[in-house]
Structure 1
Amino acid sequence: GLFCVLASAAVMQWLHLSTALGAFIAGVMLADSPYRHELEADIEPFRAVLLGLFFVAVGMMLDLDAVVARPFFIVGMATALVATKAAIIFLIARVARMEWRTALALGLLLSQGGEFGFVLFAQAQKAMLIEPQAASLFGAIVTLSMATTPFLMMISRRFRGAPAKLRTDMEGPSSDGATAIVVGYGRFGQTVAQLLTAHKLAVTLIDWEAEQIDVSASFAVKVYYGDGRRVDLLRLAGASEAQLILFCQDGDPMEADHLATVAESFPDAKIFVRVFDRRQVIALYEAPIAGTVREVYESAIVMARQALEALDVEIDEIDDAEARYRDVDHQRLVAQAESGDLYAAREVMLRPHAGRNVADQTAT
Structure 2
Amino acid sequence: FVVLGAATLMDIAGFSMAMGAFLAGVMLAESSYRHELQADIEPFRGILLGLFFMAVGLSFRINVVLDNWLLILLAVPVLMATKSAVVYGLCRVAGSSHSDALSQAFLLSQGGEFGFVLFTTAAASGIFDASTTSLLIAIVTVSMALTPFVCMLPPLLLKNDDQEELDEDFEGAEDAEVFMIGFSRFGQVVAQILLAGGRSVTVIDQSADRIRQASRFGFRIYFGDGTRKDVLEAGGIAKAKIIAVCTNKREITDQIVDMVQVEYPEARVYARSYDRVHTLALRQRGVEYEIRETIESAITFGRKTLEGLGMDEAQATAIADDIRKRDEARLQLQAVEGIAAGRELIYSRPMQPEPLVKPKKDAAE
- Report what 1:145 is aligned to: none
- Alignment partner for residue 225 of structure 2, among 205, 224, 227? 227
Alignment of 1:118-133 (within 5 A): none
Q: 1:148-167 maps to which residues of 2 (within 5 A)? A: 162=158, 165-167=164-166
> How many percent identity over aligned positions?
26
Question: Is the CA contact (8 Å cut-off) linking 2:173 and 2:235 kept in structure 1?
Answer: yes
Partner of 1:283: 281
The corresponding residue for 1:273 is: 271
Matched with 1:308 is 306
| Aligned residue among 331, 343, 348 for 1:346 | 343
In the TM superposition, residue 175 of structure 1 has moved relative to its aligned partner by: 4.2
Letter in 2 for 1:293: I
CA distance in 1, matches of 2:355, 2:252: 43
* Alpha-carbon contact 1:253-1:280 (below 8 Å) kept: no
CA contact (8 A) 1:207 1:225 kept: yes
**Alignment coverage as a number of residue pairs:** 232
Distance 1:218 1:196, change over 3 A: same
Q: More deviation in 191-200 or 320-329?
A: 320-329
Which residue is 1:54 aligned to? none
Per the TM alignment, residue 250 of structure 1 is displaced from its structure 2 partner at its CA by 1.0
Contact kept? 2:205, 2:221, Cα under 8 Å: yes
When the two chains are superposed, the root-mean-square deviation of aligned CA atoms in Å is 4.2
- State the match for 2:32 in structure 1: none
Rounded to whole Å, the distance in 1 between the matches of 2:217 and 2:75 is: 55
Aligned: 1:358 with 2:351:
yes
Offset at residue 204 of structure 1 (A): 0.9
- 8 Å Cα contact 1:255/1:284 also seen in 2: no
The alpha carbon displacement at 1:288 in A equals 2.5
CA 1:85/1:227 → structure 2, altered by over 3 Å: closer, same or farther?
A: closer
Partner SS, residue 240 of structure 1: helix
Deviation string, structure 1 residues 75-119 (Cα, Å, up to 9, x no partner): 99x959958987xx9xxxxxxxx99x959959x99xxxxxxxxxx
Distance 1:256 1:308, change over 3 A: same
Which residue number corresponds to residue 214 of structure 1?
212
Q: CA deviation at 1:174?
A: 5.8
Spell out the pairing of 1:18-57 with structure 2 (5 A cutoff): none
**Corresponding position of 1:296:** 294
Question: How has the CA–CA distance of structure 1 residues 294 and 209 changed in structure 2, closer, same or farther, with 3 Å as cutoff?
Answer: same
Q: Distance in 2 between matches of 1:102 and 1:207?
A: 22
**Corresponding residue of 2:199:** 201
Equivalent position SS for 1:302? helix
Q: What is the alpha-carbon distance in structure 2 between the residues aligned to residue 342 and residue 256 of structure 1?
A: 19
Greater shift in the superposed pair: 244-253 or 208-217: 244-253
* Amino acid aligned to 1:183: I
TM-score, normalised relative to structure 1: 0.53
User: What's the TM-score once normalised by structure 2's chain length?
Assistant: 0.52
Mapped partners of 1:293, 1:208: distance in 2: 22
Instruction: Show structure 2 runs of 5+ residues with no match.
Output: 1-67, 86-97, 110-139, 357-365
| Partner amino acid, structure 2, of 1:167 | L
Contact 1:197–1:203 (Cα < 8 Å) also in 2: yes
